[in-house]
């Protein structure tokens, strides 16, 4: 019998294997499964599972301090399932599991592994030419337009959320998230929160929104081309420009104090990446319409990421994190709030 490797934190591999062998024998075969944490995630935990008939991926909520409105596995699974076969590439899904004895003690889902690389660090750019990096970047923008062009009802997602009042609800949601994650005063974040609430724009376009759209939530495969868009836990129906705001924040994250160490984006115009304005132009051309002023949306993206990182900082203080770099997460919260305030003032990057 093959000796089983040690379990990664948060996943009982023997229990997972027993569940899959019982409910989905077509993916397991006779092998002994092993699993490891896939580096890079700082919210939901993601594992690669090998030893079956094909490699799999398991997604589960983080360990400890889980907000009641976050880390909804059923929601993420539903969105990925709905987008199968659409113009937006997503991983094939295997199962949504809500069985405490199946490996995680709670809800999780299983999908097929999609081949590809997550471009998350400048050192990875040397694999590609400048033209290839530009091509992938513009494809990222056009795929966002493809997502926003999908009619939710056509893919069974008409009830994924309510687009009316979306921005106001988002501000309330993230205020609640912040209130549930407070461990210290961050005055600039409170200031940003209030200024965003005072200047909520009128939504020009509603659609399915990803909620965390950025380069390192995509897999890049041969060609190169984008083989899958990942991490749909925040997907809903709402203002399309929210996704552009988040993409803009991450396109310049390394320019924010501490951003390069916490979120070491691969984006570097010297390597061939286009400017964010060029991404917006490619998005607009594919969608066939202009976009609103993105200052508020980019400020909201900075606010949302700051709140997320403050929650991760709380989990770090409680010892409920997996991976490296969590000791530096908290230091990025105030600079993100400052970036948001600068965007609102029209002097951001």
The two three-digit tokens of residue 87, written as one number:
């113009």
311 within 8 A of 43, measured Cβ to Cβ: no
90 within 8 A of 83, measured Cβ to Cβ: yes
Higher pLDDT, 259 or 180: 180
Q: Which domains are present in the chain?
A: 13-112 (3.30.200.20), 122-344 (3.90.1200.10)
Q: How many residues in the chain?
A: 349
The dihedral formed by the CA atoms of 136, 71, 172 and 318, expressed in degrees to the nearest 10: -110
pLDDT tens track for 281-291: 999 999 999 99
pLDDT-above-90 percentage for the chain = 73
- 332 three-class SS: helix
Pairing, β 107-112 against β 218-221: unpaired
Q: How confident is the model at residue 5 (pLDDT cuts 50, 70, 90)?
A: confident
pLDDT tens track for 30-87: 889 999 998 755 567 899 999 999 999 999 987 754 444 455 889 999 999 999 999 9
What per-residue confidence (pLDDT) applies to 61?
86
* pTM score: 0.90
Pairing, β 218-221 against β 225-229: antiparallel
Other C-beta atoms closer than 10 Å to the C-beta of 283 total 24
Higher pLDDT, 44 or 236: 236
Strands of 175-325 (E only): list them: 206-209, 218-221, 225-229, 236-239
C-alpha closest to that of 333 among 184, 200, 199: 184
């Amino acid at each position: 019998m093959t000796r089983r490797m040690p379990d990664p934190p948060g996943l009982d591999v023997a229990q997972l294997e027993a569940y899959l062998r019982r409910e989905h024998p077509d993916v397991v075969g006779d092998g002994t499964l092993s699993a490891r944490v896939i580096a890079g995630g700082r919210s939901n935990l993601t594992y690669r599972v090998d030893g079956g008939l094909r490699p799999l991926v398991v997604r589960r909520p983080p360990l400890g301090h889980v907000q009641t409105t976050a880390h909804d596995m059923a929601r993420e699974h539903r969105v990925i399932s709905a987008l199968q076969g659409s113009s937006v590439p997503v991983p094939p899904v295997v199962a949504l599991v809500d069985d405490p004895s199946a490996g995680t003690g709670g809800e999780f889902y299983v999908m097929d592994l999609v081949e590809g690389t997550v471009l998350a660090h400048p050192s990875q750019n040397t694999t590609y030419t400048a033209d290839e990096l530009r091509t992938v970047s513009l494809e990222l923008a056009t795929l966002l337009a493809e997502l926003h062009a999908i009619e939710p009802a056509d893919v069974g997602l008409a009830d994924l959320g309510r687009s009316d009042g979306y921005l106001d609800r988002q501000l309330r949601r993230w205020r609640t998230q912040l209130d549930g994650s407070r461990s210290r005063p961050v005055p600039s974040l409170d200031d940003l929160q209030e200024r965003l609430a005072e200047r909520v724009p009128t939504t020009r376009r509603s659609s399915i929104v990803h909620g965390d759209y950025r380069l390192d939530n995509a897999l890049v495969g041969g060609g190169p081309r984008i083989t899958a868009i990942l991490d749909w836990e925040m997907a809903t129906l709402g203002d399309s420009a929210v996704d552009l705001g988040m993409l803009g924040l991450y396109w310049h994250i390394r320019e924010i104090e501490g951003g390069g160490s916490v979120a070491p984006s691969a984006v570097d115009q010297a390597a061939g990446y286009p400017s964010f304005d060029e991404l917006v132009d490619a998005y607009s051309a594919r969608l066939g319409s202009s976009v609103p002023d993105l200052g508020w949306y980019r400020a909201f993206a900075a606010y949302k990421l700051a709140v997320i990182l403050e929650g991760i900082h709380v989990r770090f203080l409680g010892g409920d994190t997996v991976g490296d770099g969590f000791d530096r997460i908290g230091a990025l919260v105030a600079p993100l709030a400052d970036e948001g305030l600068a965007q609102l003032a029209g002097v951001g990057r």
